[in-house]
Amino acid sequence: MQLTIPAGLNRSEAETYRRLDPKMLPRHIAIIMDGNGRWARRRHLPRIAGHKAGVEAVRSTVETAARVGISSLTLYAFSRENWQRRPRSEVSFLMTLLRRYLRQEVPTLNQNNIRLGYIGRMWELPKPVQERMEWARQATAQNTGMKLTLALNYSARLELVDAFRSILDAALNNGGIEHLNLDESLVSRHLYTHNLPELDLVIRTSGEMRLSNFLLWQVAYSEIYVTDTLWPDFRGVHLLEAMAEYQKRERRYGGISPEEELTHNGNGRAARRPQPETAGSLR
């Protein structure tokens, strides 16, 4: 059966897509967009030039993800630590760039049937930024395709703090904490990402081997893919290459591989452990 190439892919993207199994695509991909400063420095340009160039990488990646049928894409756009460790002039530029991006990209998001959302402490952002964010969210709310989530003023540690505060507040308003039954499911329901699918794949650009306080709870069983490509050079084809690598991996969720399920019987021959039959396993 011939593979159908999604409309809108360029030649290199189509060639890479042919290596994929459309039935095994990750549902939720998150990207740590890193390398804007190094990209600019290598070209003897100011850091803001790297941030500007990164917008095209966002556009290409988002459109490709939507075209191939990814359910959710989360982009680490601005960490809470950026407030404290970046020059005020750079932070101000990033806020202006975000407002401009949202105004310019809403038509493209609508053309691609993409819904926009956010995670992070949005209430700490400047009011004009919050207003533009809400305008863009409402302008794409009717779309039914991919959910694009921007992590803004985001910290995974503070997400957990906020989740536990929310859990305690709910308990105090519902009979007291002595009735609280705290488990993983309850915590997950109070995270910023409670309405998103489980995280399947995390991509980090620029070659750095760290998570940078990003989705620490959600990443527990995610696959991690690191590329040396700097974010401004990242395009849809690089996303597809990461997905091709993802499909080569065997996700065990703490279990063992089918090969390891084989045990040796008394004759030294390998025999698979019998598995209970379920309706889903019958052929």
Domains of the chain, residue spans = 11-249
Q: pLDDT, tens digit, for every residue of 1-43?
A: 678 999 999 999 999 999 999 999 999 999 999 999 999 999 9
Note the CATH architecture for domain 11-249. 3-Layer(aba) Sandwich (3.40)
pLDDT: is 34 or 283 the higher one? Answer: 34
| DSSP strand pairing (262-264 vs 270-272) | antiparallel
Residue 191 token pair = 């995270």
When pLDDT is cut at 50, 70 and 90, the band that residue 108 belongs to is very high
pTM over 0.85: yes
Mean pLDDT of the chain: 90
Q: Where are the alpha helices (DSSP H) in the chain?
A: 11-17, 36-42, 47-68, 80-85, 88-111, 127-140, 156-172, 184-189, 236-248
Q: Which amino acid is at 132?
A: R
Q: Which amino acid is at 12?
A: S
| Catalytic machinery residues | 34, 82
Task: Say if residue 6 is exposed, middle or buried (CB neighbours under 10 Å; 0-12, 13-18, 19+).
Answer: middle
For residue 74, what are the β-bridge partners?
30, 149
Q: CA-CA distance, 54 to 230, in Å (whole number)? A: 9
